[in-house]
Amino acid sequence: MKKPIILLICAVLLTFSACSNDDKPIDQTTAETKAENNKDEPSPPAASGDEEAEETAAADDAENTSEEDETNENQDEEEKDYLTSHHQFVASEVTNLSEKEVSNMWGEPVRTEKIQFRYSGTSNFIPAVVNYYQNEKFAVTFVEGKAARLVYSVIDEEILFDDDKTKALELAGLPTDVEETTDTDTAFVWNDIGGVHEVTMFSKGEFADYLYIILDEAYK
């Protein structure tokens, strides 16, 4: 009698153990599945040597560009160390400006004149325009939309043509320690001065009258 009872108890215990294994918590099963999936997924590739080299090169280029810009600014300052507090404008800064840019600097032109311009060494004439600014104190010739020549009338100053000629250069933002290349009774000429191709100062009696400035050699 005892033996059948013992066998019955063993059968009950085995059945209970099997049910426990089948009832494993869903969360645990899901976690185990995710863990297995993660093992199968490939790891993200590490940055290659080429990519690192490209990033380093880009950073070096940006640094070099910044240094070049700073160097150019310093050179511009050094090149224009002749400017004084008396200059009214800087002639070289007018070179190749558009009509809009010049108007931003000197206001709208008081009048405009259409002309024909001929490049040196050619026989063809092309349309050009001369704009007059500030009571005709400045006259700018625009060729193909760019400032090519400038006439600066020294109307606000009485500058002796011979003795004080460098004062007119100073007003135009030009260096005053450059020897003229041509000297006549009515005109002084300077070449390659202050970043412009040529400057001619004409007289009116004993006084300086105006500066005729060829801003770039292309427009001589």
Task: Give 85-101 pLDDT, tens digit per residue.
Answer: 778 999 999 999 999 99
List the beta bridge partners of residue 92. Answer: none
Q: Is residue 35 part of a domain?
A: no
Residue 20's pLDDT band (cuts 50, 70, 90): very low
| Angle, CA 58 vertex, CA 64 and CA 76 arms, to 5° | 20
**Percent of the chain at pLDDT exceeding 90:** 42
Q: Is residue 199 part of a domain?
A: yes
pLDDT of residue 163: 78
Rounded average pLDDT over 61-90: 62
- Is the pLDDT at 76 greater than 60? The verdict is no
Query: For residue 102, what are the domain limits?
Result: 91-219
Q: Is residue 9 part of a domain?
A: no
Q: Is residue 105 part of a domain?
A: yes
Distance CA 209, CA 119 (A): 26
Q: Is residue 64 part of a domain?
A: no
Greater pLDDT, 73 or 151: 151
Q: Determine whether 106 is exposed, middle or buried from the number of CB atoms within 10 Å of its CB (0-12, 13-18, 19+).
A: middle
Q: Is residue 5 part of a domain?
A: no
Q: Is residue 18 part of a domain?
A: no
Q: Is residue 72 part of a domain?
A: no
Task: Give 146-156 pLDDT, tens digit per residue.
Answer: 999 999 998 67
pLDDT of residue 79: 62
For the entire predicted model, the pTM comes to: 0.64
- Is the pLDDT at 63 greater than 70? The verdict is no
Those residues whose C-beta lies under 8 Å from the C-beta of residue 132, and which sit 6 or more positions away, are 109, 110, 111, 112, 113, 138, 139
Residue 74's pLDDT band (cuts 50, 70, 90): very low
Contact 97, 150 (CB under 8 A): no
What CATH number has the domain bearing residue 214?
2.60.460
pLDDT of residue 140: 98
pLDDT of residue 92: 95
pLDDT of residue 66: 55
- Is the pLDDT at 25 greater than 80? The verdict is no
Distance CA 74, CA 193 (A): 19
Those residues whose C-beta lies under 8 Å from the C-beta of residue 219, and which sit 6 or more positions away, are 119, 141, 143, 148, 149, 197
* Domains: count for the chain: 1
Contact 165, 75 (CB under 8 A): no
List the beta bridge partners of residue 111. Answer: 132
| Angle, CA 118 vertex, CA 204 and CA 131 arms, to 5° | 55
Distance of CA 111 to the CA centre of its chain: 32
Q: Distance of CA 40 to CAs 29, 31, 36, 45, 124, Å?
A: 17, 15, 7, 15, 78
How far does the chain reach from its first CA to its final CA, in angstroms?
A: 132
